[in-house]
Structure 1
């Protein structure tokens, strides 16, 4: 069990600078909680500079960080579910790419300002299959905190990556997407799903 740790604006700058200097070996040795904390540090920096950056600038800052912290191809596969195995490799790549763009655009749109927020790492636990669950809290100055839990899994390169996010600690983001994706797939197949995700990403970045 990890001790509660808070990512404030000042600590975010220090963590962000350290993350930029880390070689791949250090990333492979990072704990699940450290992976989440570095991502949270970037989010705090991003929120503080959100207006200057604008949606596209936030997207460009987030993309490499999310490629490192998240296993976006695995998340796309999980969100699609069983139909994934019936798709061609080209269709899988198209959906993975558009899912990644949409995911980054969603964060760029969501974290669009700073009002004194901070993140607290509450704890981490190992699941029966070897995955880890990192529990955190988004602390808001004039509102109740938001519980965010990250499901972490080792990728093929040995690094811990986020493969799902549980809002309020219990609601799987990918599970909630699966029914949406199933509807689009039923209507127009994999090509339509890829196109729909690209359309959503473009819409989020227009602001």
Structure 2
């Protein structure tokens, strides 16, 4: 091969490689800038702050600290509706409100119980992917000091321009499919008497 052709080939290879790199950077930048990821970054930051103060706050303090964050980034009514399944349509407005409050309490309690202390852990977003219905899935991990990773997946939906979490799956924290039967059973149990919407007491950590 002539010196001219060799140089030309090297130039083409370099140009293609550069375009690939810049293309990847563009994709990574778009994923990093996606508003769905920003929601998870914000919630991860709140979790990490709570973990660092976990022992001093105690369970009740962690619950109270995380409650406002959960209210801000989770679509609790939608999650409660999906967890109860088809039985939701037969509920009165008061019953729906009561079940949403109960779902909210269980969700906050789960986070307050599982993220209770800090030993050098950090959160790391690993992927942002498109899902059906114009939803997004943000995969993140709680990375321990020794490198052990706890994967967490959040599914988010856009409601009137605002991205909110509609599902969360993590080891030890059952997803909506696992909760559906429990909530449906509660509805059947309470169907004979109207439910009163209330904010559950959380002075102690009791499992469902």
Tell me the TM-score range normalised by the shorter chain: 0.7 to 0.9
Q: 1:30 to 1:128 in 2, by over 3 A?
A: closer
Could you say if the C-alpha distance between residues 140 and 93 of structure 1 is closer, same or farther in structure 2, counting changes exceeding 3 Å? same
Question: Using a 3 Å threshold, how does the CA distance of structure 1 residues 202 and 191 change in structure 2: closer, same or farther?
Answer: farther
- Partner residue of 1:204? 205
**Secondary structure, in 3 states, of the residue corresponding to 1:116?**
coil
How far did residue 113 of structure 1 move? 0.6
| Unaligned residue ranges in structure 2 (runs of 5+) | 1-26
Q: How far apart are 1:187 and its partner, in Å?
A: 3.3
Within 5 Å, which residues of 2 pair with 1:51-90? 51-90=55-94
Matched residues, number: 177
Q: CA deviation at 1:192?
A: 8.9
**1:46, CA displacement in angstroms?**
0.5
1:148 paired to 2:157:
no
Indicate the SS of the match to 2:166.
strand
Does the 8 Å CA contact 2:83/2:176 hold for their aligned counterparts? yes
Q: Which of these residues, 110, 123, 136, is aligned with residue 119 of structure 1? A: 123
Greater CA radius of gyration, 1 or 2? 2
Tell me, yes or no, if the aligned pair for 1:99 and 1:194 is still in contact at 8 Å: no
- CA deviations 1:115-149 (Å, max 9, x no partner) are 11111111111123100011111112247311111
Give CA-to-partner distance per residue, 1:39-90, whole Å, 9 cap, x none.
0011111101011111121111111111111111111111111000000011
Give CA deviations for 1:131-169 in whole Å, capped at 9, x if unaligned. 00111111122473111111000123x21000001225x
Hey, what does 2:191 align to over in structure 1?
189
SS in 1 for 2:117: coil
Q: 1:203 to 1:53 in 2, by over 3 A?
A: closer
With over 3 angstroms needed to count, the CA separation of the structure-2 counterparts of 1:143 and 1:186, relative to structure 1, is: farther
Distance 1:191 1:73 in 2: 21
Question: How far apart, CA to CA, are the structure 2 residues paired with 1:105 and 1:166?
Answer: 15
- Rounded to whole Å, the distance in 2 between the matches of 1:141 and 1:110 is 17
- Structure 1 residue runs without a partner (length 5+): 6-28
> C-alpha distance in 2, partners of 1:140/1:193?
42
Q: CA RMSD in A?
A: 3.0
TM-score by length of 1: 0.75
8 Å Cα contact 1:69-1:162 kept in structure 2: yes
Give the Cα separation in 2 of the matches to 1:193 and 1:102. Answer: 17
Among candidates 49, 53, 60, match of residue 49 of structure 1: 53
CA gap of 1:130–1:113, structure 2 versus 1, over 3 A, is same
